[in-house]
Amino acid sequence: DVKVTQSSRYLVKRTGEKVFLECVQDMDHENMFWYRQDPGLGLRLIYFSYDVKMKEKGDIPEGYSVSREKKERFSLILESASTNQTSMYLCASTEGLLGANVLTFGAGSRLTVL
């Protein structure tokens, strides 16, 4: 089974801090994604990457950046955390385009910004 591992399950940070959320997948998948999930808003796509060093903006990229230096690792960076970035962050990966392929999620990282 594909494993998508997110480095931190729970984080508490202060406003203005730089935050790194790390995600690693072990199945050589091409595509990796970062979502955030908020009550009443569902999942929203922040960024995705379809290859090493490649990235594409999703629906809500403002306030975030990403890094993909190696195929298995996709990092989400909050340059200066704000309280409205308190959320559950979900990393996912898939081999190719969705449809015939399955998106596999990590366990999630719950970030609280004080």
State how far the Cα of 3 lies from the Cα of 113, in Å rounded to an integer. Answer: 28
Binding site for another protein (CB under 8 A): 4, 6, 31, 33, 35, 37, 42-43, 45, 48, 50, 56, 58-59, 88, 90, 92, 94, 97-100, 102-108, 110
What's the closest the beta carbon of residue 24 comes to another protein, in angstroms? 14
Minimum gap (Å) between residue 47 Cβ and another protein: 10
Contacts of 23 (CB under 8 A, 6+ apart): 4, 5, 6, 7, 32, 34, 73, 74, 75, 76, 91, 93, 106
Residue 8 or 18: the one with the smaller Cβ distance to another protein is 8
C-beta of 19 vs 92, nearer to another protein: 92
SS3 state of residue 104: strand
